[in-house]
Structure 1
Amino acid sequence: MIDIRPFASLGHADHGWLDARHHFSFASYHDPARMGWGRIRVWNDDRIAARSGFPPHPHRDMEIVTYVRTGAITHQDSMGNKGRTAAGDVQVMSAGTGVQHAEYNLEDEATTLFQIWIQTDRPGARPSWGAMPFPKDDRQGHFQLLASGDPDDGSLTINADAQVLGATLPAGGRIELAADPERHLYLVPSGRVTVNGVEASARDGIAVTGETRLEIVARDDAELVLVDAG
């Protein structure tokens, strides 16, 4: 099954400093048909104005992945961590027993990012944060593993049976990917693509389950972010 969730159908909240699109029910946006996808609970497509951001606020027992699309975001938290994550790079936070954090765009331009929440497999774990650079040139034409539940695979570690992957494709480029039909995959492209012949537009959500193989063909130059979760 390949289900396209058109960008225009996503939840929308414009707070001035934050223009957010919600792939799944979040805050004041509620759609009983879009409460999550497998263990994926939140996928927000955020545009944060220059010199603004999220003030300190709490989380617990959730795996939170931030994929920066343009600009940069600066993180600080109650564990004493602080770091700047730039376009193409990723940060992860395991909220565990509880953590306060803030995310600020300290740049002179808007920042765009995906904020992805995945249900944890380790409730009550010690909270943690990490970030890594992932140059986009390193994933041209293939998926690169950005985060996973395996602490030994060289990517960022989350406490969940999930993988976060990124790729870039030129127009006309193609990627083939094996898939487990029992799992839930969610893909968001920055340009038009087809997935197993099904067409999707830029920033649409593509929900996949029951497939053993994906063939992704770019109709435009496209940056791809994919989560494979139980």
Structure 2
Amino acid sequence: MSDIITSDAGYDPLALTHAMEGIVVRGNQRKYVQLGRTLRFYGGTTSATEVGCNLRCKFCFSDKPVWKPATTGQFYTPQQVFDGLASNARKYGHSTISASASEGTLGRQHLLELLDLVEQSEFVYILETNGMTLGADPDFALQLAKYRQLHVRVSIKGCDEDEFHRLTGAQRAAYALPFQALDNLIRAQVSCNACVSVSFSDESAIHRVKQRLLTVHPGILKSLELERIKLFPKVRKRLARYGLHPNKPARRVA
């Protein structure tokens, strides 16, 4: 399905997927920075820090894991990742585990083997994804359908094609992929929800993206997250370089 994103200016996220996997995936191993830190999300969760992404969002909080994947992190097996996550989660009483700071679907074999381990545990795994690969490949969603202890959070970058292109530099047509990902996941009966980055969107644009989401599934707005960026110092500098300014005040982080 990569032929759906060949006509617009900008890079192809699916081509970048393959390029990044060549850097951060080695057999069933994937690169990570660390394997278990405590985060406040989901009422308290343990997350690993992945390396490698197939988008280059100008507002991204991640630093070296996205921008310098070749020189960041080290390779770990699914068992090593699970052990690191489980150890921290059990220490702090977390029921959910995840990986963040990059794209969660890079390295499909690694992910599926990790989910096999989660399935035998007491945890729920939150798969954080921008939906590029899951939108391009319905079979990927079908492979995830067997996992009962999985929830997929699909993050949509902006409220329309032009905003997506402005924020990520990717081809405008790729904006359709996270919506297709949600459709693929829902059809496969995989637990999922949508999240939309709205820091650069006005109310009319937010309304339009909600209407578009309704065409995917009538109940999808019940779990919709509207996400606003945090202005870390490097994020502020990067946004200034591109002349981008959040529409509503974002929390500054020193």
Q: Considering the TM-score relative to the shorter chain, is it more than 0.5? A: no
Query: TM-score scaled to structure 1, two decimals?
Result: 0.29
Q: Give the structure with the larger helix fraction.
A: 2
Query: TM-score scaled to structure 2, two decimals?
Result: 0.27
Q: Give the structure with the larger strand fraction.
A: 1
